[in-house]
Amino acid sequence: MAGLAGGFLLLFLGFALLYPLGRVLALGLGEGLLRALGNPYYWERYLFSLEYGLLSALLTLALALPLAFLFRRRFPFREAFLALSTLAFVLPTPVVALGFLALLGPRGVLGVDLYGTLALLLLAAVFYNLGLALRILLPVAMGLEGPLQAARVLGASPFRALLRVGLPLLLPALGSAGLMVFLYAFSAFGVPLLLGGRYATLEVEVYTLLAQRLAFAEASGLMLLELLTLGLAAWLYLRLPAYPLRPSGLLPSRRPWALALGLGAFFLLFYAPLFALLGEVRPWALAQAWRSEDFTPLPLALGNSLRFTLLAFLLALPLGVAYGVAARRSPGWDLLGLLPLMVSPVAVGLGYLLAYPGLRGSLLLLLAAYALLAYPLLARVLLPALRTLPPSLWEAARVLGATSFRAFLRVELPLLLPALASGTALALSALLGEFGASLVLWRPEWTTLTLAIYERLGRPGEGPFREAVALAAVLALLSALLFYLLDQGRGRVG
């Protein structure tokens, strides 16, 4: 079973990632890399990307760590607040960018224009990645109570117990969360493109070289530099030790309602960009976007988004399950499955243009790019659940005469449904808001909601901006509704 699953996954990765990536590396290792390394401007973009990734990780951890300790306690609406922390991670890039523009842009409701500043980019990075870091830190924080109590019984003060016992146990989780945030921020594309102004990341520079100058060699050289950095970060991530802390039960709270009200106020402030976006929606702009003749109309863009999301998910679902089955007892497959998380959508699109010139404009390439970027999100949720299943269940089914596939389908899969529902929510939300690969592989008749927003932002004037805001609000509501329904489904299955 594991061999078949691994073969299916490797076949797809060979077509959708390894061969296109090899073409990028081959082109980048030649003249392109020499040009990239010899240009001081590109070094500035690289150093800024490093700075942006590191600062984003530090700021996110500074906020996520105290939140993780607060979420160790029992208080009203705890699960709802925890779900809210994750929602931001699955919101499409244009939605987040327009939300911050509505709040802190030239037309912002606060009257403070931070467009094109590093501060706005960092705020957007923390907004995106807080839930991701919190989900990594929370299980470790919940498992610290036993060791901390043991240290206090031996005479340590609360501060000394935290410093000498809690911090060493937290460091691997802090490193994991920080490196994951760094991976996403360093290779960020949509937010810096829409909000950064002169603060362009290396990823934005690659797209600019492709779209404006058709400089494939230089773009490949920069992409190689980015891949080397991301590969080093991923290697460090895999090298971090994992302490087997068993999460304890929720701790009691002295003032549960005060804690709930405080977190409620925090999340109201946290989601202020989204509220500002919804407040800027004008009914006439939505009506104009529906029947627009100058831009892609809303019905066509919405139909494309839903159609591509569904088709790509039909491919991403078996890929995610195959990855989980192959990787649950094999670190090598686990490392291979991390590759799509290290490669940006722009790199994928560039690789397809180089590797498959005869398939340019083919729907096959677009769906392959979508599935490549979505299945790891599903698989990373599914894999821990697979590893907790006792091997004796599968072995008993085999002794009773079931084939390997039937034993998995009838015995193990029903136990994985809660994790599968949660992973499905992440994968579908990512597919619905995909931006980078769509922009590189774009055809006019394939314009999705994210691209319809981007094409309106490229035109000056109040009308196009209001239409973009209206479309972003539709996309935000769709993503939130999808995430809510699937999260509810996960709860019912569990």
Where are the alpha helices (H) located in 200-297, listed in sequence order? 202-208, 216-239, 256-270, 272-279, 283-290
**Considering only 92-96, 176-180, 223-227, 329-333, which range has the smallest mean pLDDT?**
329-333
Residue 306: exposure state from Cβ atoms within 10 A (0-12, 13-18, ≥19): middle
pLDDT at 96 over 70: yes
Tens digit of pLDDT for each residue in 306-319? Answer: 999 999 999 999 99
Q: Which of 273-277, 450-454, 484-488 has the lowest mean pLDDT?
A: 484-488
The residues facing 251 across adjacent strands are: 73
pLDDT at 163: 74
Among 472, 372, 489, 349, smallest CA distance to 430 is for 372
pLDDT value at position 247?
60
Quote the pLDDT of residue 67.
Answer: 93
pLDDT classification of 51: cutoffs 50, 70, 90: very high
Distance CA 314, CA 136 (A): 28
pLDDT tens readout for residues 142-156: 877 777 777 777 777
- What fold is seen in the domain 39-200+240-246+257-272? MetI-like fold (1.10.3720)
Of residues 480 and 112, more confidence is placed in 112
Query: Are the beta carbons of 394 and 407 closer than 8 angstroms?
Result: yes
CA nearest to 365, candidates 375, 378, 350: 350
pLDDT by residue (tens digit) across 405-420? 676 666 767 777 777 8
Burial class (CB in 10 A: 0-12, 13-18, 19+), 223: buried
Tell me the C-alpha distance between 195 and 451, whole Å: 16
pLDDT score, position 493:
36
Residue 381 pLDDT exceeds 80: no
- Greater model confidence, 141 or 98: 98
Across the range 234-263, mean pLDDT stands at 79
Read off the pLDDT of each residue in 256-282 and give the average, rounded to a whole number.
92
Q: Which of 172, 71, 193, 50 is nearest to 131 (CA)?
A: 71
For position 325, what pLDDT does the model report?
80
HEC profile for 459-472? CCCHHHHHHHHHHH
Alpha carbons within 13 A on the beta-carbon side of 89? 21
pLDDT at 135: 82
SS3 per residue for 356-411: CHHHCCCHHHHHHHHHHHHHHHHHHHHHHHHHHCCHHHHHHHHHCCCCHHHHHHHH
Query: Which residue from 314, 313, 493, 327 is spatially nearest to 413, judged by alpha carbons?
Result: 493
pLDDT value at 199 more than 60: yes
A 10 A CB-CB count for 202 gives 27
Q: In the predicted model, what is the mean pLDDT of residues 442-469?
A: 87
What local confidence, expressed as pLDDT, does residue 89 receive? 80
Q: Rounded mean pLDDT of the chain?
A: 82
**What pLDDT, on a 0 to 100 scale, did the predictor assign at position 262?**
93
Give 445's DSSP letter: G
> Taking residues 312-327, what's their average pLDDT?
87
What is the spatial distance between Cα 478 and Cα 474, in angstroms, rounded to a whole number?
Answer: 6
At residue 53, what is the residue type? G
Q: What is the mean pLDDT of residues 415-436?
A: 80
Q: In whole angstroms, give the CA distance from residue 74 to residue 322.
A: 37
Residue 251's SS3 state is strand
Average pLDDT in the 250-259 region?
A: 86
**pLDDT-derived band at 488, boundaries 50, 70, 90:** low
Looking at residue 494, its pLDDT comes to 36
For the chain, percent of residues with pLDDT exceeding 70: 88
Q: Which CATH class is domain 1-18+281-494?
A: mainly alpha
Alpha carbon dihedral 452, 437, 277, 117, in 10-degree steps, equals: -120
Query: pLDDT: is 31 or 131 the higher one?
Result: 131
Work out the average pLDDT over 386-390: 74
Tell me the residue type at 162. L
Cβ neighbours for 435, distance < 8 A, ≥ 6 positions apart: 92, 93, 94, 189, 190, 345, 450, 451, 454
Does the pLDDT of residue 116 top 80, yes or no? Answer: yes
| More confident position, 269 or 382 | 269
pLDDT band at 249 (very low <50, low <70, confident <90, very high): confident
Looking at the chain, the domain(s) classified CATH 1.10.3720.10 span 1-18+281-494, 39-200+240-246+257-272
So what's the pLDDT on residue 25? 74
Confidence check: pLDDT of 444 > 70 = yes
Nearest Cα to Cα of residue 63 among 143, 132, 115: 132
Q: What is the rounded distance in angstroms from the CA atom of residue 471 to the CA atom of residue 297?
A: 10
Helix (H, G, I), strand (E, B) or coil at 73: strand
Q: Around Cβ 337, how many Cβ atoms within 10 Å?
A: 24
Kindly state the average pLDDT of the residues 58-68: 93
pLDDT at 491 over 50: no
Q: How far, in Å, are 81, 258, 419 from residue 265 at the CA level?
A: 11, 11, 30
The answer, yes or no, to whether residue 465 has pLDDT greater than 60, is: yes
Mention every residue, 6+ apart, whose C-beta is less than 8 A from residue 253.
73, 74, 75, 259
Determine phi and psi for 73, rounding to 5 degrees: -100, 160
CA distances from 55 to 25, 58, 119, 179, 244 (A): 28, 5, 10, 12, 29
Q: Using the predicted structure, report yes or no on whether residue 49 has a pLDDT greater than 90.
A: yes
The whole-number pLDDT of residue 123 equals 95
pLDDT for 397 equals: 67
Q: pLDDT confidence of 275, banded at 50, 70, 90? A: very high
Q: What's residue 100's pLDDT?
A: 92
Torsion, Cα 271 277 283 286, to 10 degrees, reads -110
